[in-house]
């Protein structure tokens, strides 16, 4: 598949419309999961007004432990209450939920454990919202076929460029148009590092340490620096937007480890900035690598920002810019998918 | 076809209007306008226009514009093209002449080379400005450059906007 499951079945696909609140289950309680929990609580009234129904978080799972409450798990109780021991599958058996939120750590090779979580959710008839790229990169077709067979929708806006409208733009804003090509800056960590190298004259290691101290880079930055994170997003876009069936092995990937301070300075002196650019089109291009972008051009975004440039048959060239990562920002993208599904279910 | 051109314009309100009118009069459709402030000359700023229009009308448009403005650069599909590429790594040990010779054979020209060399055993950075008679020749030259650079373990950073 195919765009159909990402869109959701034609007969309306959202969570069961049983009246009352929509009950959601959250797997993964790291930075993104906690941010989403806080948003669901702090913005409950506004979300209910926009979704048409209130949303109740009835279960949370992390690291083979879980907490469920049919009346809702209050944020302030997460630390005080005892967590039960058990898998996500066992947790799903302990509480009734209408919709599944997947925000566990990503494994791009196997897609697990998130892939198993999604399959379990489908078996329970639950639509799924993912922030985890793993299942989409490792087993896109299988995931979509299972969702289609179960008659439920899968949404994953948070997996590509955080809260920048990317998949939803294709689904809604470019509906009827044809997206021919997508390119851009899909990794905020490397963009932060390259920006600091250009603006401060830092070398890569200095800029990396600064990124880590500010929380923009992981303790192990390999996936970002080697371009694997951006490549995963290329795979998702190719499969979900451009009608191609590719895996990580089909993406030509070069990271930024060999980008030197001298390279960045020389580019800057000639009116360019070095950026890690991801590109994918319908003709066979799928690559990630350092490129020159003209200073002041739409892709010349600073710091940890991302930029997504669409080339479409009718609308022409459109660029979206915004935060591509961060707990609150990624949670906001999940919330957008969640509210969209609740609306469609109504 | 797509036509890119740079004009030097006063950085003041209303200066774009006559250019836009001329483009419209010649059947052009503006795709983008970019003020290149980093290259401003006093109160004059280069402005890059990208226009979609019939090839047969491009010369008439450029003739109109050059009567009232200073034209800095023109690039149109089917005509001469230029691109910039940055090479990073042990470029001089790899012998830059070996990197560039195949490009000349394919009809590309080297307009400019600039380099930063941090030290004898450290990676260097070399920026090369290339031109060719058309996109096909440039594409072939860039493919040859990438292959050669890959063999020599160099990182090739080509321009996104001038991709070939």
What percent of chain A has a predicted confidence (pLDDT) above 70? 94
From the CA atom positions of chain B, what is the Rg in Å?
19
Across residues A126-130, what is the average pLDDT?
A: 98
Catalytic residues of A: 233
Q: Do B125 and A254 touch (CB under 8 A)?
A: no
pLDDT at A228: 96
Report the alpha-carbon distance of residue A36 to residue A30 in Å, rounded. 10
Q: Do B84 and A272 touch (CB under 8 A)?
A: yes
Smallest CA–CA distance, residue B145 to chain A, in Å, is 15
Residue A174: pLDDT above 80?
A: yes
pLDDT at A188: 93
- The more confidently predicted of residues B75 and A163 is A163
pLDDT digits (tens, 9 = 90+) for A84-111: 999 999 999 999 999 999 999 999 999 9
Band of residue B79 on the pLDDT scale cut at 50, 70, 90: low
pLDDT at A217: 85
Which chain A residue shows the shortest CA-CA distance from B161? A293
Across residues B105-123, what is the average pLDDT?
A: 89
Residue A226: pLDDT above 70?
A: yes
Note whether A267 contacts B: Cβ–Cβ < 8 A.
yes
pLDDT at A11: 42
Q: Do A267 and B127 touch (CB under 8 A)?
A: yes
- Smallest CA-to-CA distance from B38 within A262, A297, A296, A298 is with A296
Smallest CA–CA distance, residue B51 to chain A, in Å, is 12
Residue B59: pLDDT above 50?
A: yes
Token pair in block for residue B25: 């009069």
pLDDT at A5: 46
H or E stretch covering A214? none
Q: Which of A42-51, A61-70, A273-282, B100-109 has the lowest mean pLDDT?
A: B100-109
Quick one: A144 exposed, middle or buried, by C-beta within 10 A (0-12, 13-18, 19+)? buried
Across residues A181-209, what is the average pLDDT?
A: 96
Quick one: B146 exposed, middle or buried, by C-beta within 10 A (0-12, 13-18, 19+)? middle
Q: Do A266 and B114 touch (CB under 8 A)?
A: yes
Note whether A260 contacts B: Cβ–Cβ < 8 A.
yes
Cβ-contact A289, A254 below 8 angstroms:
yes
Q: Which of A170-174, A309-313, B36-40 has the lowest mean pLDDT?
A: B36-40
Ramachandran region, residue A266 (left: φ > 0; alpha: ψ -120 to 50; beta: rest): alpha
pLDDT at A318: 94
Alpha-helical (H) ranges within chain B are 17-25, 55-68, 96-105, 135-151
- The more confidently predicted of residues B38 and A115 is A115
Neighbours of B134 (CB within 10 A): 14
Note whether A256 contacts B: Cβ–Cβ < 8 A.
no
Residue A17: pLDDT above 60?
A: no
Average pLDDT, chain B: 87
Band of residue A16 on the pLDDT scale cut at 50, 70, 90: very low
Report the alpha-carbon distance of residue A259 to residue A304 in Å, rounded. 18
DSSP A272-310: EEEEEEEEEESSS-EEEEEEEEETTSTT---TTEEEEEE
Query: Residues 6 or more apart from A288 whose CB is under 8 A from it?
Result: A227, A230, A231, A234, A251, A252, A253, A254, A255, A276, A277, A278, A279
pLDDT at B76: 66
Q: Report the side by side order of strands in the sheet with A305-312.
A: A252-253, A286-294, A272-281, A179-185, A305-312, A316-323
Alpha-helical (H) ranges within A201-295 are 204-213, 222-225, 228-240, 261-269
ipTM of the complex: 0.80
pLDDT at B40: 83
Report the alpha-carbon distance of residue A121 to residue A89 in Å, rounded. 8
pLDDT at B69: 87
Instruction: Please give the model's pTM, rounded to 2 decimal places.
Output: 0.80
What percent of chain B has a predicted confidence (pLDDT) above 90? 40
Which residue of A181, A205, A267 is the best one to mutate when testing the B interface, meaning the one whose CB has the most B CBs within 10 A?
A267
Average pLDDT, chain A: 92
DSSP bridge partners of B127: B86, B114
Q: List residues of chain B with CB under 8 Å from any CB of chain A.
A: 31-32, 34-39, 84-86, 88-89, 114-118, 123-127, 155, 157-161
Q: Which of B31, B35, B125 sits opposite A263 (nearest CB)?
A: B125
Smallest CA–CA distance, residue A290 to chain B, in Å, is 6
Neighbours of A245 (CB within 10 A): 12
Q: How far apart are the first and last CA of chain B?
A: 16
* β-strand pairing of A272-281 with A179-185: antiparallel
Cβ-contact A47, A124 below 8 angstroms:
no
Residue A237: pLDDT above 90?
A: yes
DSSP bridge partners of A305: A323
pLDDT at B94: 78
Smallest CA–CA distance, residue A312 to chain B, in Å, is 13
Residue B6: pLDDT above 60?
A: yes
Band of residue B164 on the pLDDT scale cut at 50, 70, 90: low
Cβ-contact B58, B19 below 8 angstroms:
no
Residue B21: pLDDT above 90?
A: yes
Neighbours of B19 (CB within 10 A): 21
pLDDT digits (tens, 9 = 90+) for A26-64: 999 999 999 999 999 999 999 999 999 999 999 999 999
Across residues A271-284, what is the average pLDDT?
A: 96
Residue B34: pLDDT above 90?
A: no
pLDDT at A3: 40
Across residues A210-219, what is the average pLDDT?
A: 88
Band of residue B63 on the pLDDT scale cut at 50, 70, 90: confident
Residues of B in contact with A265 (CB under 8 A): 116, 125
């Amino acid at each position: 598949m195919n765009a159909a499951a990402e869109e959701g079945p034609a007969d309306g696909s959202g969570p069961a419309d049983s009246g009352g609140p929509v009950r959601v289950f959250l797997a993964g309680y790291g930075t993104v999961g906690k941010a989403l929990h806080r948003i669901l609580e702090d913005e409950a009234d506004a979300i209910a007004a926009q979704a048409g129904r209130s949303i109740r978080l009835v279960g949370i799972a992390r690291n083979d432990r879980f907490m469920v409450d049919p009346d809702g798990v209050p944020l302030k109780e997460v630390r005080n209450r005892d967590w039960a021991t058990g898998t996500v599958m066992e947790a799903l058996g302990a509480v009734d939920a209408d919709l599944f939120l997947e925000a566990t750590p990503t494994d791009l090779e196997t897609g697990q454990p998130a892939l198993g979580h999604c399959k379990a959710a489908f078996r329970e008839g639950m639509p799924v919202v993912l922030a985890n790229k793993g299942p989409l990169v490792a087993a896109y077709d299988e995931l979509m076929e299972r969702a289609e067979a179960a008659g439920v929708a899968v949404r994953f806006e948070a997996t590509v460029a955080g809260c920048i409208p990317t998949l939803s733009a294709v689904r809604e804003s470019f509906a009827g148009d044809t997206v021919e090509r997508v390119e851009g800056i899909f990794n905020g960590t490397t963009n932060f590092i390259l920006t600091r190298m250009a603006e401060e004259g830092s070398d890569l290691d200095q800029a990396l340490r600064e990124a880590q101290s500010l929380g923009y880079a992981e303790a192990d930055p390999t996936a970002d620096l080697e371009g694997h994170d951006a490549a995963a997003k290329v795979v998702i876009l190719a499969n979900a937007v451009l009608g191609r069936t590719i895996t990580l092995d089909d993406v030509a990937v070069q990271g930024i480890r060999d980008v030197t301070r001298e390279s960045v300075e020389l580019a800057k002196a000639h009116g360019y900035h070095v950026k890690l650019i991801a590109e994918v089109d319908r003709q066979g291009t799928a690559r990630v690598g350092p490129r020159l972008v003209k200073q002041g051009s739409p892709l010349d975004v600073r710091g940890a920002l991302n930029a997504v440039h669409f080339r479409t048959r009718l609308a022409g060239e459109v660029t979206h810019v915004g935060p591509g990562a961060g707990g609150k920002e990624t949670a906001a993208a999940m919330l957008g998918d969640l509210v969209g599904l609740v609306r469609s279910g109504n | 076809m797509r036509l890119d051109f740079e004009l030097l314009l006063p950085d003041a309100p209303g200066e774009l209007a006559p250019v836009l009118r001329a483009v419209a009069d010649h059947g052009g459709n503006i795709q983008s306008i970019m003020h290149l402030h980093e290259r401003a000359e006093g109160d004059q700023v280069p402005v890059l226009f990208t226009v979609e229009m019939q090839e047969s009308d491009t010369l008439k448009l450029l003739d109109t514009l050059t009567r009232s403005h200073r034209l800095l650069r023109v690039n149109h599909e089917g005509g001469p093209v230029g691109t910039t590429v940055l090479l990073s790594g042990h470029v001089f040990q790899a012998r830059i002449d070996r990197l560039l010779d195949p490009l000349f054979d394919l009809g590309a020209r080297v307009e400019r080379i600039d380099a930063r060399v941090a030290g004898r055993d450290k990676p260097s950075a070399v920026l090369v400005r290339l031109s060719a008679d058309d996109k096909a020749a440039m594409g072939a030259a860039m493919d040859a450059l990438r292959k050669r650079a890959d063999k020599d373990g160099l990182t090739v950073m080509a321009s996104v906007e001038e991709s070939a």
